[in-house]
């Protein structure tokens, strides 16, 4: 597989634009079950506009972020605004909740949801997460949910996180990381990359890169959540055995791969729990 940054960027953006334009939303039992499997309460989900949740989470970073009134919080790869809107409630009207995403269709969905619930302390920015359009030492807390694994240049993302955080600021990230090396048919698949597995790091590498970027108190916890919930519910990137209709040929052709079911078949048969884990990551920028 051609793993140059341009190919990855275009493939990820194309797939998630398709998901943003799809009918996936919180009214679906399957979509809700994914969010609940990764730690969102039924009350959290009821408080959101339906379009905010598309079943793309692999954890609930707002649950571990210890957000406080008046803080500035940024969600990298905010998607439909799920965590941005939950964070906005926690930081209150004196705080600010900012969502950053590289896909215009996702931001359109997020903005419409924020308007629907009257969230006045939110902002959405179009950008790549390795080039965060915020000032140095501006942010109290950074959230991210199943997105860092999609970034081609992860060290650059971590350096940008450190730059925009205030001294003493913190990360609360939910992500997928690897317990063991992936089989070649998964590691070399762009479909598996877009599905958050082929681009994931080993857990030890995740910790090492954060420390090399300058973070301290780095802690990574395997949540033990069942990653096969995606294929069981049909929410795997809008492309699963129970949701093949959403696998548009233009999407399955990512990275020049043939637009045919065999492209997706390795992911359908993949036992994610054997190789990967849903992890919670916490780290601090030294004061």
Domain ranges of the chain: 5-285
Neighbour tally for 94: CB within 10 Å: 9
Determine the pLDDT at residue 195.
Answer: 86
Taking residues 110-129, report their average pLDDT: 97
Taking residues 259-274, report their average pLDDT: 61
pLDDT band at 243 (very low <50, low <70, confident <90, very high): very low
Residue 263, pLDDT above cutoff 80: no
Q: 195: Cβ–Cβ under 8 A, 6 or more apart, which residues? A: 230, 236, 237, 239, 267
Taking residues 173-202, report their average pLDDT: 92
Residue 100 burial (CB < 10 Å; 0-12/13-18/19+)? buried
Edge-to-edge strands of the sheet including 215-222? 122-126, 96-101, 72-76, 139-145, 165-178, 276-285, 215-222
* 239 or 35: which leads in pLDDT: 35
What does DSSP say about strands 96-101 and 165-178: parallel, antiparallel, or unpaired? unpaired
- Euclidean distance between CA atoms 162 and 61, whole angstroms: 18
Between 16-30, 127-141, 176-190, 262-276, the lowest mean confidence (pLDDT) is in 262-276
Q: What are phi and psi of 280, to 5 degrees?
A: -105, 130
Q: 217: Cβ–Cβ under 8 A, 6 or more apart, which residues? A: 282, 283, 284
Q: Reduce the DSSP state of residue 266 to 3 states and report it.
A: helix
Determine the pLDDT at residue 265.
Answer: 52
Determine the pLDDT at residue 232.
Answer: 54
Residue 182, pLDDT above cutoff 70: yes
Residue 1, pLDDT above cutoff 50: no
pLDDT band at 252 (very low <50, low <70, confident <90, very high): very low
- CATH architecture of structural domain 5-285: 3-Layer(aba) Sandwich (3.40)
Burial profile 198-219: b = 16 or more Cβ within 10 angstroms, e = fewer: bbbbebeebbebbeebebeebe
Give me the sign of the Cα torsion angle 30, 34, 35, 39: positive
pLDDT band at 53 (very low <50, low <70, confident <90, very high): very high
DSSP at 28: S
Model's pTM, two decimal places? 0.89
pLDDT band at 181 (very low <50, low <70, confident <90, very high): very high
Determine the pLDDT at residue 257.
Answer: 30
Residue 135 burial (CB < 10 Å; 0-12/13-18/19+)? exposed
Residue 266, pLDDT above cutoff 60: no
- Euclidean distance between CA atoms 16 and 176, whole angstroms: 17
Determine the pLDDT at residue 215.
Answer: 98
- Euclidean distance between CA atoms 102 and 13, whole angstroms: 7
Q: Mean pLDDT of all residues in the chain?
A: 87
Neighbour tally for 108: CB within 10 Å: 16
């Amino acid at each position: 597989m051609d793993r140059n940054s341009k190919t990855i960027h275009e493939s990820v953006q194309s797939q998630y634009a398709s998901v943003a334009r799809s009918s996936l939303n919180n009214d679906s039992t399957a979509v809700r079950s994914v969010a609940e499997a990764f730690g969102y309460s039924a009350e959290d989900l009821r408080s959101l506009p339906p379009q905010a949740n598309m079943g793309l989470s692999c954890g609930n970073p707002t649950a571990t972020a210890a957000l406080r009134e008046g803080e500035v919080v940024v969600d990298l790869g905010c998607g439909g605004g799920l965590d941005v809107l939950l964070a906005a409630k926690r930081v209150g009207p004196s705080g600010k909740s900012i969502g950053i995403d590289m896909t215009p269709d996702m931001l359109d969905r997020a903005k419409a949801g924020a308007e629907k619930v009257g969230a006045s302390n939110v902002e959405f920015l179009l950008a790549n997460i390795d080039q965060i359009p915020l000032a140095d030492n501006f942010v109290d807390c950074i959230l991210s949910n199943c997105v860092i694994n999609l970034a081609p240049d992860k060290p650059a993302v971590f350096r940008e996180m450190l730059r925009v955080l205030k001294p003493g600021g913190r990360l609360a990230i939910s992500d997928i990381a690897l317990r063991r090396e992936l089989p070649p048919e998964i590691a070399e698949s762009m479909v598996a990359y877009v599905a958050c597995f082929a681009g994931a790091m080993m857990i030890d590498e995740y910790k090492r890169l954060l420390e090399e970027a300058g973070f301290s108190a780095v802690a990574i916890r395997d949540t033990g959540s069942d990653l096969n919930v995606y294929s069981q519910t049909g929410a795997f990137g809008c492309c699963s055995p129970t949701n093949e209709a959403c696998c548009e040929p233009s999407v399955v052709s990512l990275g020049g791969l043939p637009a045919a079911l065999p492209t997706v078949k390795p992911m359908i048969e993949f036992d994610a729990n054997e190789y990967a884990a849903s992890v919670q990551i916490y780290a601090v920028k030294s004061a």
